[in-house]
């Protein structure tokens, strides 16, 4: 069954469950606090995607009609602004989802498309002259990496990352969990990691469909995306990237995949948990401190099962609001609170931190563009 079909089939039950769950929590006091007071348009959405017409046409010409198991959804700046207005979102920080530019076989074509996407993102969205769109968008640059990435690709990615951040003034860099089976942390990416560290970039890790995954007849976004994010984060830890390049700020999609839940287990080959256990220091860096320093978004993960795990690992100041729109468009039926489940984990003040202030603190240029303060 296609991803969109599954979402539509599950929607009535999911929507009802969400509403009943929120009502039950408020009525019984099960939530972290009462529901937040009604708010205006103050949310910052750090995980959502753009699909400009020229990119959609290129995908179609290469017979790409689905992404992660879902048909390529409709997108335009007007649709994006309409979505934001319905759900109290002031600004979206957009990025390019799978497949990025990996579907293009020639390195020169990947560079050309990445440059076109990034220029469009900067000129027409982030730094637009349009009064209607001004302040409504931030952007993560797409890099001209193929699958598997090679040294030439990485050199091109270094050049484009510098152009995107320094010249186009985008808010960060988007990167995939893996490229043709080569995961973040692999030595081939070392020149790029050095550059991102020098740029002090916010780097958004988005999952892709991994190679050779067991086919259960379900769309890979349901679970394989989360596993691929986890693989990338664990590899970044054990390959020493998180230690060697401390100025990169990493933002992990979908609450870090499965990492928060298994962060202790995946830290067992580092010295810190063993030392803490020997010293009897309960709770001190039981998970790698590097995992605690990452940032995590709420996209497709606002429920307490995920959020309480992320909160325990990294704390509220390392969690940022996200919707994964337009790939999640069938999950949003009525205007209002886009993630009422967050009230089961966070107090009203913490929700404001998660849904606004954390993003403003990590994207100071965006904060300046919209005339906002970070706290």
Q: For residue 14, what pLDDT is reported?
A: 34
Q: For residue 5, what pLDDT is reported?
A: 40
For tokens 């810190």, the residue is 272
Q: For residue 279, what pLDDT is reported?
A: 58
Q: What is the pTM of this model?
A: 0.86
Please state the three-class secondary structure of the chain as a single string: CCHHHHHHHHHHHHHHHHHHHHHHHHHHCCCCCCCCCCCCCCEEEEEEECCCHHHHHHHHHCCCCEECCEECCCCCHHHHHHHHHHCCEEEEEEECCCCCCCCCCCHHHHHHHHHHHHHHHHHHHHCCCCCCCCCCEEEEECCCCCCCCCHHHHHHHHHHHHHHHHHCCCCEEEEECEECCEECCCHHHHHHHHHHHHHCCEEEEECCCCCCCCCCCCCHHHCHHHHHHHHHHHHHHHCCHHHHCCCCEEEECHHHCCHHHHHHHHCCCCHHHHHHHHHCCCCCCCCCHHHHHCEEECCCCCCHHHHHHHHHHHCHHHEECCCCCCCCHHHCCCCCCCCHHHHHCCCHHHHHHHHHHHHHHHCHHHHHHCCCCCC
Q: Which two tokens stand for residue 57?
A: 């046409």
C-alpha dist (Å) from residue 58 to 187, 213, 357: 31, 26, 37
Q: For residue 220, what pLDDT is reported?
A: 79
* Tens of each residue's pLDDT in the chain, 375 residues: 333 343 333 333 333 333 323 333 333 333 334 444 557 899 999 999 999 999 999 999 999 999 988 899 999 999 999 999 999 999 999 999 999 999 999 999 999 999 999 999 999 999 999 999 999 999 999 999 998 889 999 999 999 999 999 999 999 999 999 999 999 999 999 999 999 999 999 999 999 988 888 888 888 777 788 999 999 999 999 999 999 999 999 999 999 999 999 888 888 777 666 665 665 554 445 678 899 999 999 999 999 999 999 999 999 999 999 999 999 999 998 899 999 999 999 999 999 999 999 999 999 999 999 999 876
Q: For residue 68, what pLDDT is reported?
A: 83
């Amino acid at each position: 069954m296609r991803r969109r079909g599954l979402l539509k089939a599950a929607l009535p039950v999911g929507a009802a469950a969400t509403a009943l769950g929120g009502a039950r929590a408020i009525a019984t006091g099960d939530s972290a606090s009462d529901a937040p007071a009604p708010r205006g348009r103050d949310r910052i959405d750090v995980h959502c995607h753009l699909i400009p017409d020229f990119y959609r046409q290129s995908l179609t010409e290469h017979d790409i009609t689905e992404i992660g198991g879902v048909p390529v959804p409709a997108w335009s700046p007007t649709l994006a602004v309409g979505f934001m207005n319905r759900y109290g979102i002031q600004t979206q920080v957009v990025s390019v989802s799978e497949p990025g530019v990996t579907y293009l076989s020639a390195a020169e074509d990947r560079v050309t498309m990445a440059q076109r996407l990034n220029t469009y993102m900067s000129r027409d969205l982030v730094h637009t002259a349009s009064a209607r769109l001004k302040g409504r968008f931030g952007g993560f640059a797409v890099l001209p990496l193929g699958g598997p990435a090679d040294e030439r690709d990485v050199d091109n990615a270094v050049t484009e990352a510098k152009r995107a951040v320094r010249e186009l003034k985008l808010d960060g860099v988007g990167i995939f969990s893996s490229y043709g089976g080569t995961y973040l942390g692999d030595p081939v990416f070392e020149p790029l990691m050095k550059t991102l560290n020098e740029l002090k970039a916010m780097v958004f890790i988005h999952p892709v469909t991994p190679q050779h995954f067991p086919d259960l007849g379900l769309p890979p976004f349901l679970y394989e995306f989360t596993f691929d994010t986890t693989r990338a984060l664990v590899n970044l830890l054990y390959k020493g990237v998180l230690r060697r390049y401390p100025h990169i700020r990493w933002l992990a999609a979908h609450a870090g995949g499965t990492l928060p839940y298994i962060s202790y287990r995946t830290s067992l080959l580092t010295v810190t948990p063993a030392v803490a256990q020997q010293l009897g220091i309960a709770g001190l860096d039981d998970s790698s401190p590097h995992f605690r320093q990452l940032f995590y978004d709420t996209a497709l993960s606002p429920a307490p099962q995920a959020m309480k795990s992320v909160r325990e690992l990294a704390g509220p100041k390392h969690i940022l609001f996200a919707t994964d729109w337009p790939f999640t468009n069938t999950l949003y039926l009525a205007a209002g609170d886009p993630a009422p489940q967050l009230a089961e984990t966070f107090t009203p003040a913490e929700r404001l931190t998660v849904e606004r202030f954390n993003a403003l603190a990590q994207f100071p240029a965006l904060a300046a563009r919209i005339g906002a303060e970070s706290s």
